[in-house]
Amino acid sequence: MKQKFLVAVSILLMVVAHVAGQSNNASISSNSFKVIPLGVKGGLDESNLSAYLVAASGNDQFICLDAGTIYKGLELAAQKKIFKSSNPSIIQQNNINSYFISHAHLDHTAGLIMNSPNDKAKNLYGLASVLDVFKKNYFTWSAWANFGTEGEAPILKKYSYQTLTPKLEIPIDKTGLFVTPFVLSHVNPYESTAFLVRNQDAYLLYLGDTGPDRVEQSTQLAQLWQTIAPLVIKNQLKAIFIEVSFDNSVSEKALFGHLTPNLLMEEMVKLNQLANGQLKNTQLYVTHIKPCDDCEIKIKAEIQAANQIGLKIFYPTQATLIELK
């Protein structure tokens, strides 16, 4: 009787372990995302500038989309126990796998540059026009130190420059993620970048700074919307992160490659039409609001008033975890 009891217990434990293992594997291979905004604003406050960590759910290796603020964002995230470590530099070294920079303006790069001495060797991805600024202006001995893999000697070889090809998807080692870059217009002819991030059959779209096609006299957004509309229809695009820098009172001539609430909705209406009216199923996160006395309140009110197609609109908060399922 005792032997039968022990055998039964052993079988039960094996079944429990198998189920737990399946559950754990399912979690690791989930096609959802987790996003940690390290900074969300569009200027002035250097402790809260554009930078978004993105990982596949169940994975602790993040890619960093833009890098305006690094240390302060990691410090606040550590205080909220989002990471195992409480040391921002250790988190940067061990949990940020690589950087994807949309364009080289300082509000998207300063955190990476300032924290480079404490970082580990990793890849730095960008369009050729973006990486050229790092090579010629930032990672030079006259401006900082050459932490890149090219340029003035001595070359410290911490960040390996990886030139992106528009519309070509690449795998990101150890993350389970794939990234496709798209060129954006940010005061034509200057370039910015949108990154389409894939985890299995799920997608997330992050746009760096961009003006609307009509003002920029460009077709870059139209091309991007054509690409992602089928993903919206299939409910594979979990979220869009897109900028709105100014309120509607700012003249189109004074936008310098940015969006207002009305111009955001002008573009979203185009995408919604291409997506057969299904854009309401994709979460829309508004980023890069430039600070002034009442700008944020005004922008949010204007977006709400202009949202005639029922979009689900959110505003990311620094160091607050976003889970996209």
Write down how long the chain is.
325
What gap in Å lies between CA 133 and CA 255, rounded to an integer? 23
Residue-level pLDDT at 125? 99
Residue-level pLDDT at 293? 83
Is the peptide bond preceding residue 154 cis, with omega within 30 degrees of 0?
yes
Residue 317 lies in a domain: yes
Model confidence pLDDT, tens digit, residues 234-269: 999 999 999 999 999 999 999 999 999 999 999 999
Residue 26 lies in a domain: no
Most distant CA atoms of the chain, gap in Å: 87
Residue 232 lies in a domain: yes
What gap in Å lies between CA 212 and CA 255, rounded to an integer? 10
CATH of the domain at 239: 3.60.15.10
What gap in Å lies between CA 159 and CA 156, rounded to an integer? 8
What gap in Å lies between CA 309 and CA 22, rounded to an integer? 41
Cα Rg, the chain, nearest whole Å: 22
Q: Looking at the predicted structure, is the pLDDT value of residue 221 above 90?
A: yes
Model confidence pLDDT, tens digit, residues 140-189: 999 999 999 999 999 999 999 999 999 999 999 999 999 999 999 999 99
**Cα angle value 78/80/82 (rounded, 5°):** 65
What gap in Å lies between CA 321 and CA 325, rounded to an integer? 13
Inter-CA distances, 162 with 119, 297, 318, Å? 17, 39, 28
Residue 138: which of 101, 172, 186 has the closest Cα? 101
Q: Which domain does 59 fall in, by range?
A: 31-324
Residue-level pLDDT at 206? 99
Model confidence pLDDT, tens digit, residues 30-42: 789 999 999 999 9
Q: Looking at the predicted structure, is the pLDDT value of residue 25 above 70?
A: no
Give, for 62, the enclosing helix (H) or strand (E): strand 62-65
Given CA atoms 165, 166, 170, 174 in this order, what sign does their dihedral have? positive
Please tell me the number of Cα atoms within 13 Å of 66 on its side-chain side. 36
Check: pTM over 0.95? Answer yes or no: no
Inter-CA distances, 115 with 119, 229, 272, 315, Å? 7, 38, 40, 26
Residue-level pLDDT at 8? 42
Residue 5 lies in a domain: no
What gap in Å lies between CA 311 and CA 308, rounded to an integer? 8
Residue-level pLDDT at 292? 84
Residue with structure tokens 């008033």? Answer: 305
Share of the chain above pLDDT 90, in %: 89
Residue 4 lies in a domain: no
Give, for 15, the enclosing helix (H) or strand (E): helix 2-28
Give, for 122, the enclosing helix (H) or strand (E): strand 122-126
Residue 144 lies in a domain: yes
Sheet holding 62-65, edge to edge: 159-163, 122-126, 96-100, 62-65, 51-56, 33-39, 322-324
Is the peptide bond preceding residue 117 cis, with omega within 30 degrees of 0?
no
Tokens of 287: 């980023």
Model confidence pLDDT, tens digit, residues 293-317: 899 999 999 999 999 999 999 999 9
Residue 19 lies in a domain: no
Give, for 10, the enclosing helix (H) or strand (E): helix 2-28
* CB-based burial label for 248 (10 Å; 0-12, 13-18, 19+): middle
Residue-level pLDDT at 278? 98
Mean pLDDT to the nearest integer, 9-25: 37
Model confidence pLDDT, tens digit, residues 97-151: 999 999 999 999 999 999 999 999 999 999 999 999 999 999 999 999 999 999 9
Model confidence pLDDT, tens digit, residues 260-273: 999 999 999 999 99
Q: How many domains does the chain have?
A: 1
**pLDDT, the chain, mean:** 92
Q: Looking at the predicted structure, is the pLDDT value of residue 56 above 70?
A: yes
Instruction: Reduce the DSSP state of residue 120 to 3 states and report it.
Output: coil
Residue 42: which of 106, 85, 93, 101 has the closest Cα? 106
Name every residue whose Cβ is closer than 8 Å to that of residue 243 and which is 6 or more positions away in sequence.
42, 207, 208, 209, 210, 258, 259, 286, 287, 288
Residue 14 lies in a domain: no
- At 6, is the pLDDT very low, low, confident or very high (cuts 50, 70, 90)? very low
